[in-house]
Structure formats: structure tokens, C-alpha cells
């Protein structure tokens, strides 16, 4: 019977008649349905509906909505959540987290990361968010190692509305958003949703201002059998750079210190185009096709070379016409440029019956990115060179094709069996235009990888309220461009498969329990992630703020995640998200480039070679992975139109690098937040609300992450001695944000 049902999914659609009546359960988008986990899927997940998103969101970037969930730690360059913000899931950064919007991959195919401030205020247009922890189900684009975040945008089929949202807060933080949804016209069967937003903030840290202008436009035709939809969204962001961590001694003098200078700024714009067609073959079958285009452009990323770590630009950066010429300076203001285009397509066949759901999908994409850099300013230019001279220009092309098959099969109304298998092939090609001024010009051979990523699982509904599940899966994926280039934006040596990081592989086992009734929702999940050749962060950042990373032969992450909500005494509600974990790298090799006490001049041995020191560390905890973190909130609703909430977040000690030196840690911290939410509908006779957010109520000084510094001194008698010092990113002190929303 099982095999017969499986074959019917693949072949049955071709024998269906148009006259079959449709089932309401197929109203949701097939692409979102195919990648999302349901309550019967045996994966660790957190779900945010539109109401929950609205209650959490006040203008800070997306990570500050997600960090109320288990295993997520958020941070921002500016300190207050506006502008460049990031999050880690199970201690793993966002280059190893799959991020998609409406089923479309958002991660940069080359370097695997994403910057949600490029589409700031998307939370205003989000109808739901799902977080899957662990490798989860199969996704299009970057394979998830830590997990995934999936956003579904505004459903145009909702009733007509117009909404104005205004916000103002500390550090001159501002937000204005205007939305309009037409609903679906009964005659034309068409509808449109549109939003335009402007957000800005001076930032908590000095010279960390950001200015973001974004929009969203969606429309569609919603027929009885077919749906045709489009989405266009994105925007532009201008920021003062603040991606350098600051020494503890400097922070003790000025907690808002930013080592980036006021002249270091960037501008980035990114636009997303999505076109989706769906056809309902019957009350069981549905097909869909989607095309997408992503265009990103960074006309400006200006930074001072003198500040770069680990290596500032020095005289050997330039290939001078006269080797004896000494007319250059290491004090450069450089401008990095990026121009990206990613085009792709997705095809899906979806099946749903009383006891079975299945999806068969195909995804293909072609990505091209031009990287270049020019010198804007210098104390002294080489002879014959002027401001604006291009230093390098190279191009990366990444192509991918993947297919997956998923199946949920319900047996006896209690046991759900789950299987998911993905075959993914990807390749990378690199080329450059030779620049006479630039020393580092090397070729890269064409690289390609093929991965098979299987997953299985089962869930048992013991009662209507209580269930348990388990799953096991394997995921492999290729190194990012920056991993292959050792953190550089160009190939610093001849690139081939023998001298780049190996693909990483994770074996993920999940085991969980869930209980739910009218007043209690409780979920506990245990995980064991065992890695081969994990590509781990070293703790050090490159010139653009990305973590440098390297392979480690064997590592693991194990833990328990607990998520609870509890309503009691009619007016009170309690929620908690807790993670307890034990995470180890079995053997880690750290190579230190020896510098003098100033940190800029390399130290050489007797033969004039740059000196390096390599140490081996065993059973160390990975970078920025706390063993314990918890978030709790309690809310009180004295009347139908008011809610008061108090929340506390605790994050345990984290190591800044994989040497696990005691002095290279972020101290544990507790931050308390408060919120007052008032519905003004009765007072104003208009559907409106007022919200006051007070973050860090107790004005706590705390460090969200950081980087290590290694200083050396050298003597003829004692050799080279290393000194380790921490540098930190800070969280903002007490700050407030007032939000007013009006629905017409």
C-alpha cells in the first residue's frame, strides 16, 4: 500500500480531470508549503504568526525578533539593533543558516551569508516566520547546517486595510511605514499589497548611524484553479561602519567607542523579484513554478586600510614599477565595490490527502558577482597613480541545481513517518582582470561539488495533546568563497581542491516531546550534531567584518532546547526559551602570525622569513557558543486594551576564539526589557495602538560578542611570548522606542 501511494504521487496527476472539486487545504502557497515543517514534521521548530511578529517588532532588525527563541543569540554593530545585525543559532553564524522568503533562497551563493538590513522592515510585511533548528527539511539554496529561517509575506487574500506605523526612540531612532492591502476583488479576482518604509538611527556606538529605505509590492490573480503572483521588494541602506570590536580598556574609558573612523561608510542596495504560478490539478495535487531574480549592488564600502586586522595593507600591497621606490604609505582609504546578480527557478509537484503529503521539487540558479577595489585616499601615492585607481577586479560565478523529495505518511492516525532526500550539485568559477598595480593575482581552477542529503524521522501522537518525535539526517555543503580565499576578496594563491577547506558534513539527531492545550504549550528537544571537517570560525574578522574560518577534523554540538508558553489566572501569561548545551572541537590548530607589541610590524626570523607560531588545542568550546542561555517573560493584562510585559535574557560566558583562554571570553550577562501595549481603539474610535518598549531597563553594561587580539614581544633570551587580550562588541544601555500604529 505504501509503494502504491508513493507512485500515485508521481504519476497520478497526469490522469486527473479538471472537473474535480478543490480542497480548501490547498489554499496556501505550494512553495512555502513544500519547504516548511508542519506540526507533524519531526523537527525542532518555532513559529511566529502575524500577531506575535507585530507584538515583538518595533523597528530593530530581524534578529531582535528571533532572539526570543531557543538557541538564538543576537548582536548588532551599532549596539541597538538598527543597521547591521546578526544572530547565531546553536552557536553557528548566519553563513551556515538557510534564509528564505516565500521559499526563495536569500543567502549569498558565494559567501553563504545574508544581511537583513538590506530589506529592513520586512517584518511589517511578514505574515509568518518559521525557525527550524538543526538541518531540518530540504531547502532551496544554501544547505542549512545550524538551521533555517523562513518568512512568508503578506497574504493579499486578507481583508482590505491601510496601516500607518510611526516610531521614535533613543539615539534619534525613527521608523515610518505605510501599508495598503486591497484584498481580492470578487469580479477581477486580483489584488495588490504595497508598503514603503524609512528607518534610521544614529546608533548607540559612536559613528554607527544607519539610514534604510525599503519597499514591498505584491500582487496577484487568484482564480478557482490557478494563481499568478508577483513580489518585488528590497531597498537601499547607508551605514557608518562599526564592525571592529573594541578593547576592554578603551570601553572602560568610553563604553560607546567605535574604532572605525567617521570616514568609513558604505552604501548597499538589493532588490528581489519573484514571479509564481500555481495550478490546482485536483483536491490532492498542485503544481507550481517560480522564477526569481536578485540584484545587489554596493557602490561604496569605504574603509581605512591602517585599521584592518589581521594584516594592514603595507608597502608590499603595491607592485611598484620601481622596486626601490619608497613613496607609498600604509595609510589608505579604500573603496570596495560589489555587483551581484542571481537568477533562478523552482518547480514543484505537491500532493496532499488524508493520510499523506508529499513534495517533489527542482531548483536551479546562476549567480554572478563582480568584486573590485579602488584607492580613494593615501598619504602618499605611488608615482603615476591617482585617487580612484582600481586595485583589483575579479568575478565569481556560482551555479547550482538540486532536487528533493519529501513524504509524510500517517499510519492509524497516530504515527507519522517522514522521509526527505535532496541531491544537490554546485560549481564555482573565478576569473580576474590583471591590474599592474596589484601583487596578488592567481588563478582558481573550476570547482564543483555533489552532495546527497538524506533525512528520516517519525512522530507519534500519544494523545491529541501530547506527541513525541525523532529524526536523523545528514547534510554536506561546500566551503564559502571567503573560506577558500582565506578571508581575502581575491585569490591569494593558486586555488584548487587540494589547498582549500574541505566540504563540511553534519550528522544530526533530534528527539523531542510536545504538549499543548488551551493554556499550555510546551516543547523540549534534544539534539546531537556530529561534524566531519566542520568549517569553524577562528574568532578573527577579515577586512570586511566576516569571520575567518578553517576545517577541524571532528567536533560536536549537543544540547537540550525548551520552549514554553503558559496562560494562568486569566490575565497572566508566561513564556520561556532555554538552551543547555555541551559543544566541543576535539582538536584545533591555531597559527599565530607574530607581530611586535604595536601589532602592525611583522617579526622576522634570522633568515628574514615571517615568523609563525602554531599551537594545538584539544577539546575546546567553539567560538561564541554559550553552554547556557535563557529568555523569560511574564505579561499582565489588567484590561482588554492594555498589556504590560517584563522580560529577562541571560546568556552565559562565551569564548572569543577556539584557544579557550580565560581572558578571551565575554562575561555572562542578564538584560531586562519592558513593554507597555495599549489599544487606543475605544479612545480614538479608530483601530490604533500605542507601544512603549524599554530595552535594558536596568542599564546593564554587557558584551554581545567580540574578537581576540594576540600581542607578542621578542627578546634574545626569552624568545617570543604571546599576550592575549579581548576586544568586544557592546549592547546598548537603557533605550526606549515608542511605536504608534493606525489601521484605517
Classify residue 629 as exposed, middle or buried by CB count within 10 Å of its CB (0-12, 13-18, 19+): buried
**Domain with 315 in it: what CATH number?**
2.40.170.20
Whether pLDDT at 594 is above 60: no
Residues 6+ apart with CB under 8 A from 152: 29, 32, 102, 126, 127, 128, 129
pLDDT tens readout for residues 705-719: 999 987 665 554 455
3-state secondary structure of 315: helix
3-state secondary structure of 5: helix
Domain that holds residue 302: 2-743
Which of 699, 580, 702, 697 has its CA nearest to residue 633?
A: 697
- CA dist 61 and 648 (Å) reads 19
Which of 92, 154, 97 has its CA nearest to residue 127?
A: 154
Which is more confident, 614 or 116? 116
Taken in order 528, 356, 155, 50, the sign of the CA dihedral is negative
Q: How confident is the model at residue 472 (pLDDT cuts 50, 70, 90)?
A: very high
Task: Supply the DSSP string of 42-102, one letter for each residue.
Answer: -SEEEEEEHHHHHHH-SSS-THHHHTTSTTEEEEESSSSSSSSEEEEETTB-GGGEEEEET
Whether pLDDT at 695 is above 80: yes
Sheet holding 147-153, edge to edge: 44-49, 126-133, 147-153, 97-101, 104-105
Q: How confident is the model at residue 82 (pLDDT cuts 50, 70, 90)?
A: very high
Q: How confident is the model at residue 329 (pLDDT cuts 50, 70, 90)?
A: low
Query: For residue 330, what pLDDT is reported?
Result: 53
Which of 416, 331, 532 has its CA nearest to residue 40?
A: 416
DSSP class of residue 24 equals: G
Query: For residue 138, what pLDDT is reported?
Result: 86
Classify residue 646 as exposed, middle or buried by CB count within 10 Å of its CB (0-12, 13-18, 19+): middle
CA atoms within 13 A on the CB side of 467: 21
Which of 475, 436, 469, 484 has its CA nearest to residue 455?
A: 475
Query: For residue 20, what pLDDT is reported?
Result: 35
| Main-chain phi, psi angles of 54, to 5 degrees | -60, -35
Number of domains in the chain: 1
pLDDT tens readout for residues 428-453: 999 999 887 777 779 999 999 999 99
- CA dist 395 and 537 (Å) reads 25
> In terms of residues, how long is the chain?
744
pLDDT tens readout for residues 7-63: 333 333 333 333 333 333 334 566 666 678 888 889 999 999 999 999 999 999 999
3-state secondary structure of 172: helix
DSSP class of residue 600 equals: S
Which of 629, 587, 647, 693 has its CA nearest to residue 88?
A: 629
Q: Residues 711, 597: contact at Cβ < 8 Å?
A: yes
Q: Which secondary-structure segment (H or E) carries 725?
A: strand 719-730
Query: For residue 610, what pLDDT is reported?
Result: 53
Amino acid at each position: 500500500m505504501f509503494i502504491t501511494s508513493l507512485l500515485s504521487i508521481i504519476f497520478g496527476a497526469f490522469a486527473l480531470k479538471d472537473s474535480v472539486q478543490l480542497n480548501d487545504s490547498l489554499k496556501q502557497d505550494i512553495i512555502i508549503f513544500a519547504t516548511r515543517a508542519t506540526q507533524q514534521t519531526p523537527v525542532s521548530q518555532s513559529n511566529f504568526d502575524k500577531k506575535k511578529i507585530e507584538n515583538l517588532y518595533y523597528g530593530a532588525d530581524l534578529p531582535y525578533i528571533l532572539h526570543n527563541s531557543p538557541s538564538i543569540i543576537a548582536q548588532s554593530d551599532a549596539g541597538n539593533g538598527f543597521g547591521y545585525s546578526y544572530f547565531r543559532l546553536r552557536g553557528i553564524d548566519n553563513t551556515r543558516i538557510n534564509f528564505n522568503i516565500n521559499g526563495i533562497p536569500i543567502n549569498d551563493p558565494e559567501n553563504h551569508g545574508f544581511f537583513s538590513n538590506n530589506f529592513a522592515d520586512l517584518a511589517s510585511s511578514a505574515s509568518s516566520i518559521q525557525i527550524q533548528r538543526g538541518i531540518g527539511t530540504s531547502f532551496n539554496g544554501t544547505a542549512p547546517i545550524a538551521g533555517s529561517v523562513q518568512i512568508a509575506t503578506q497574504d493579499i487574500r486578507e481583508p482590505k486595510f491601510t496601516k500607518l506605523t510611526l516610531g521614535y526612540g533613543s539615539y534619534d531612532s525613527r521608523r515610518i511605514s505605510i501599508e495598503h492591502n486591497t484584498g481580492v476583488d470578487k469580479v477581477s479576482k486580483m489584488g495588490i499589497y504595497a508598503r514603503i518604509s524609512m528607518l534610521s538611527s544614529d546608533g548607540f556606538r559612536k559613528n554607527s548611524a544607519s539610514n534604510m529605505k525599503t519597499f514591498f509590492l505584491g500582487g496577484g490573480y487568484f482564480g478557482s484553479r490557478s494563481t499568478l503572483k508577483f513580489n518585488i521588494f528590497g531597498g537601499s541602506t547607508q551605514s557608518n561602519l562599526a564592525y571592529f570590536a573594541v578593547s576592554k580598556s578603551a570601553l572602560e574609558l568610553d563604553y560607546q567607542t567605535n574604532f572605525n573612523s567617521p570616514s568609513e561608510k558604505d552604501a548597499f542596495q538589493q532588490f528581489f523579484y519573484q514571479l509564481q504560478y500555481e495550478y490546482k490539478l485536483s483536491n490532492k495535487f498542485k503544481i507550481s513554478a517560480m522564477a526569481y531574480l536578485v540584484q545587489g549592488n554596493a557602490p561604496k564600502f569605504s574603509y581605512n586600510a591602517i585599521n584592518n586586522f589581521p594584516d594592514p595593507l603595507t608597502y608590499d600591497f603595491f607592485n611598484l614599477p620601481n622596486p626601490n621606490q619608497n613613496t607609498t604609505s600604509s595609510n589608505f582609504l579604500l573603496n570596495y565595490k560589489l555587483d551581484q546578480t542571481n537568477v533562478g527557478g523552482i518547480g514543484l509537484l505537491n500532493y496532499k490527502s488524508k493520510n499523506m503529503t508529499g513534495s517533489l521539487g527542482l531548483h536551479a540558479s546562476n549567480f554572478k558577482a563582480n568584486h573590485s577595489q579602488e584607492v580613494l585616499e593615501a598619504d602618499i601615492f605611488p608615482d603615476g597613480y591617482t585617487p580612484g585607481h582600481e586595485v583589483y577586479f575579479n568575478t565569481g560565478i556560482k551555479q547550482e541545481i538540486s532536487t528533493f523529495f519529501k513524504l509524510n505518511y500517517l499510519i492509524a492516525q497516530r504515527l507519522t513517518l517522514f522521509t526527505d532526500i535532496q541531491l544537490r550539485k554546485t560549481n564555482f568559477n573565478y576569473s580576474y582582470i590583471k591590474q599592474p598595480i596589484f601583487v596578488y593575482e592567481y588563478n582558481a581552477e573550476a570547482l564543483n561539488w555533489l552532495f546527497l542529503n538524506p533525512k528520516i524521522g517519525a512522530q507519534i501522537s500519544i494523545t491529541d495533546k501530547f506527541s513525541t518525535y525523532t529524526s536523523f539526517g545528514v547534510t554536506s555543503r561546500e566551503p564559502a568563497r571567503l573560506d577558500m580565499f582565506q578571508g581575502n576578496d581575491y585569490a591569494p594563491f593558486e586555488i584548487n581542491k587540494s589547498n582549500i577547506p574541505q566540504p563540511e558534513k553534519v550528522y544530526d539527531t533530534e528527539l523531542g516531546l510536545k504538549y499543548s492545550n488551551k493554556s499550555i504549550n510546551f516543547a523540549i528537544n534534544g539534539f546531537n550534531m556530529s561534524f566531519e571537517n566542520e568549517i569553524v570560525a577562528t574568532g578573527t574578522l577579515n577586512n570586511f567584518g566576516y569571520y575567518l574560518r578553517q576545517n577541524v577534523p571532528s567536533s560536536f554540538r549537543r544540547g537540550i532546547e525548551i520552549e514554553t508558553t503558559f496562560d494562568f489566572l486569566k490575565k497572566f501569561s508566561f513564556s520561556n526559551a532555554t538552551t543547555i548545551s555541551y559543544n566541543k572541537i576535539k582538536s584545533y590548530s591555531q597559527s599565530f602570525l607574530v607581530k611586535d607589541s604595536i601589532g602592525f610590524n611583522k617579526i622576522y626570523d634570522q633568515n628574514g622569513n615571517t615568523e609563525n607560531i602554531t599551537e594545538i588545542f584539544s577539546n575546546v568550546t567553539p567560538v561564541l557558543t554559550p553552554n547556557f542561555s535563557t529568555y523569560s517573560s511574564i505579561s499582565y493584562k489588567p484590561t482588554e486594551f492594555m498589556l504590560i510585559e517584563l522580560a529577562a535574557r541571560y546568556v552565559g560566558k562565551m569564548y572569543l576564539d577556539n584557544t579557550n583562554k580565560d581572558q578571551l571570553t565575554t562575561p555572562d550577562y542578564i538584560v531586562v526589557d519592558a513593554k507597555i501595549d495599549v489599544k487606543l481603539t475605544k479612545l480614538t474610535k479608530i483601530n490604533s495602538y500605542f507601544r512603549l518598549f524599554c530595552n535594558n531597563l536596568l542599564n546593564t553594561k554587557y558584551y554581545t560578542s567580540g574578537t581576540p587580539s594576540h600581542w607578542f614581544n621578542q627578546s634574545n633570551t626569552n624568545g617570543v611570548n604571546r599576550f592575549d587580550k579581548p576586544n568586544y562588541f557592546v549592547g546598548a544601555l537603557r533605550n526606549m522606542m515608542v511605536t504608534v500604529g493606525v489601521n484605517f
